[in-house]
Structure 1
Amino acid sequence: MTLDPQQLGQSKADLAETLRTLRKRAGLSQVRLASRCNVSQSKISKIETAEITPGLIDVELILRALNAPEQLVAEVTALARLANTEWQPIRSSWRRGLEKRQAELAGLEAEAKELRYFLPAMITGLLATPEYIRSSLEYSPGDVSKAVARKLGRQAVLYDTEKRFTFLLTEQAVRWAVLPPTAMAVQIDRLASLSHLPNIRMGLIPMGTTISRGPMNTFTVYDERLATVETFTGRTVFRDSRDIAEHLDVFKQYEQKAQFGEPARAFLQEWADLYR
C-alpha cells in the first residue's frame, strides 16, 4: 500500500483520517493500539479526530505498532511533518490588519520562557526605537499606527525577569540604514542599553567572522516547542520537534561565533559613532 502525502493534503484532518484508516485496516481497536504505543486511549482518540496533531515521534510510534512497511512509514511521516508546518502569507496579515499579527506574536512571547532570535538582516521590533519601527513598516499598506503601537507595547516583555532572551545579530542587521544617520546611532545605542538587562544576551557577529554556514533567514525559537522563519512573502511556523531541533542546532552554531557582553558593546559603540 502506498500513500501520496500531496494527494492526501497537508491538514491535520488528513493525517488523522490516514492514521484512523490504517488502524482499522490492521484490525486494532484504539485501546489495543494505545497499549502497544504505551499511551492513553484518549490520546489515540484525539489524534484520530484531529483534536491534537501528533509529532513525528508519535506518528512513527503508531506506525511501528501497526507493523507498517518502511515505505508507508516514510510517506505518512512526511505527511505528519507537513501537518506540523504552517505557512502564513504576509498578504493575509495585511488583510487581517498588522495589529492582529502583533497580538499573535505577543501571545507567543507571553507563553515562552526562553526565546532565541537570529537576526541576519534587520533589527527586530522588540529591540527597535519607534522611528525604526515606523520606517520598517513603510512597505505595508494602510495605516500602520496601530501596528507601531502594538510593537512598542510588546517590548514590555523584555523586562519580565522570568524570561530569558538571546538575540543574535549580524553586523549587517545592526548597521542596515533603515533611518538617517543620527537616528541610527540612537537605535544602536538602544541595543547597547538593552544588553545590560540581566535576562537578555545580546550577541553580535561582526563582518569578517569566519562561518561556513550562510545566514539565510531570520528565525525565532520559542522554548523547544515552536520555531518561526521569516521571508519576504510570509512566515513559516514549525511545530515538529525535529524541525525545532534543527533550528536550535543552527542557532547554537552562530551563538558560538558571536560576541557578548563588553566586547559586543564595544562594537555597538564603534558602529554608533560611525553614524554620528
Structure 2
Amino acid sequence: MPQPDERPQSGTELADALKQLRKAANLSGERLAARCAMSQSKISRIERGRILPTVVDVERLLKALEVPDEIERELVALARRANVQHTSWRTAAEMGLWRQQDELKALAQSSTIVRQFLPAIPSGLLQTEEYARQVLEPTVPGDVSWNAQRAVRARMESQEVLGDTSRRFIFLMPEHAIRWNRVDREVMAAQCAHMANMSERPNLDIAVIPQSAKVRAAPLNVFVIYDERLVSAELFSGKVVLRDPRDIAYHLNLFEFFYSHALTGDNATAFLRSVSDDFMRERG
C-alpha cells in the first residue's frame, strides 16, 4: 500500500505543471503563498514533489495563479487522478504480502483514529493466528500465491499497534461478516470469542450491525479511514488509495451511517460471545 505522501506519476506531472505556472506568472513562492493563504514551505514541498497536494490545494493555487478555465479543468482532473492509486493483489504478492502488513502497521502507527468497515471478514488486526493462517491460504482458482507463513507472522506482529492506548480503533462489521463460514467451526468460535475479549480494551470499539437491522444501503467493499488523511478501499483486484478530501469526507459519512445501525459497547461484546457459542454448538 502506498504511504500517505508517496506520489504516483500523475503527481510528478502535477508538481511540474504548478511550478511552471508559478514561474510563468512571474511570482515567487512567497508571493504565491500570500495570495492563496498557504505557507511558502508547503508550496515548495509541493513543487519539489515532497508532498502530494490535495484537489483543494490545487484549486486554491490555480485560483491564485489566475489560469485559464481550460488549464484549470485539466490540472484539477490531474490532481484527482494523482490522489487515487490502485495496487493489484498480484503486485502485492510479487512484492511480498508480508510487506503490506508492515505498511498497514506503519499507517496505523501514524494515525490517531483508524476506522475499518469490514463487510467480508474481521480485520487482520483482530484475527487469531489460526484464523489468519486459514484465510491467507489461496483457495479460489486464479488467486495469486504468496508466502502465507510469512504473511501470517507479519499479520500477528502488526497487531502490536493495538497496544498503544493513545490511538483509537473502530471496527465495524455486519453480522454476516462474523458468521461467514470461511474456516473450521472451532476456529470460527475462537475468533468470535477473541473479538469479544478485544472489544473490552479501552481504545477498541468493535461494532456489529445485526441482520435484524434495516439498513437502506449496501455494504459494497472494505474500506479503512486513517484520521482524515486517506482512505484505503479493497476490491477483488487489489486496493485503491484515495486522498481527495471529498472522497475522505464521503467515506466518513458512509462509516457514520453504517455505525448508526450497529450494536456497540457491552451489547456488541455480548453478541460476539453468543455467536461464538453458536459455532461451538455446531462443531458436531
Task: Tell me the TM-score normalized by structure 2.
Answer: 0.88
- Aligned match of 1:22: 21
Find out whether 1:182 has 2:181 as its counterpart.
no
- Give the one of 228, 231, 234 matched to 1:227: 231
Kindly tell me the number of residue pairs found equivalent between the two proteins. 268
Determine the structure 1 residue equivalent to 2:85: 86
For 1:43 and 1:190, how far apart are their aligned partners in 2? 45
2: CA distance, partners of 1:142 / 1:65 = 49
Q: Is the 8 A contact 1:121 1:173 kept in 2?
A: yes
Assess if the C-alpha contact under 8 Å between 1:109 and 1:157 holds in 2.
yes
**What is the alpha-carbon distance in structure 2 between the residues aligned to residue 247 and residue 272 of structure 1?**
30
Secondary structure of 2:86's partner? strand
Matching residue of 2:54: 55
Contact 2:107 2:226 in 1 (8 A): yes
User: Unpaired runs of 5+ in structure 2?
Assistant: 1-7, 139-143
Query: What is the DSSP-based 3-state SS (H/G/I as helix, E as strand, rest coil) of the residue aligned with 2:192?
Result: helix
CA 1:37/1:262 → structure 2, altered by over 3 Å: closer, same or farther? same
- Residues 269 and 10 of structure 1: is their aligned pair in 2 closer, same or farther, counting only changes over 3 Å? same
Q: What letter is aligned with 2:74?
A: E
CA shift, 1:207, in A, is 1.2
Cα offset for 1:41?
3.3
Please state if 1:203 is matched with 2:197: no
2-structure distance, mates of 1:268, 1:49:
50
- Could you give the per-residue CA deviations for residues 8-50 of structure 1, whole angstroms, max 9, x where no partner exists? x952111012222333343434333222113333332332232
Q: Distance in 2 between matches of 1:137 and 1:27?
A: 56
Q: What SS is found at the alignment partner of 1:11?
A: helix
Supply the distance in 1 between the matched residues of 2:116 and 2:30 (Cα, whole angstroms). Answer: 42
- What RMSD over aligned residues (CA atoms) do the two structures have, in Å? 1.8
Secondary structure of 1:220 counterpart: strand
TM-score (norm. length: structure 1):
0.91
Partner letter of residue 225 of structure 1?
Answer: R
Equivalent position of 1:117 in the other structure: 116
The C-alpha deviation readout for 1:197-255, integer Å capped at 9, x for no partner, is 11111100011311112111101111111210011111111222222111111111111
Amino acid at match of 1:251: F
Deviations 1:53-76 (Å, cap 9, x if unpaired)?
111221111111122344443332
**Gaps (5+ residues) in structure 1?**
1-8
- Give the equivalent residue in structure 2 for 1:74: 73
Provide the rounded CA distance (Å) in 1 between the counterparts of 2:256 and 2:9: 30
After TM superposition, give the deviation of residue 119 of structure 1 in Å: 0.3
Question: d(CA) in 1 for partners of 2:193 and 2:42?
Answer: 51
Instruction: Indicate whether 1:171 and 2:170 are aligned.
Output: no
Say which of 272, 277, 281 aligns to 1:273: 277
Q: Assess if the C-alpha contact under 8 Å between 1:10 and 1:82 holds in 2.
A: no
Please tell me the residue identity of whatever aligns with 1:16: A
Q: Choose 32-41 or 146-155, whichever is displaced more.
A: 32-41
Cα separation, 1, equivalents of 2:208 and 2:70:
45
Q: Assess if the C-alpha contact under 8 Å between 2:123 and 2:171 holds in 1.
A: no
For 1:25 and 1:175, locate their aligned partners in 2 and report how far apart those are by CA, in whole Å: 60
**Aligned mates of 2:147, 2:23 — CA distance in 1:** 54
Alignment partner of 2:206: what SS? strand
What letter matches 1:137 in structure 2? L
Q: Which moved more, 1:210-219 or 1:141-150?
A: 141-150
Partner of 1:194: 198
1:120 touches 1:169 (CA, 8 Å); kept in 2? yes
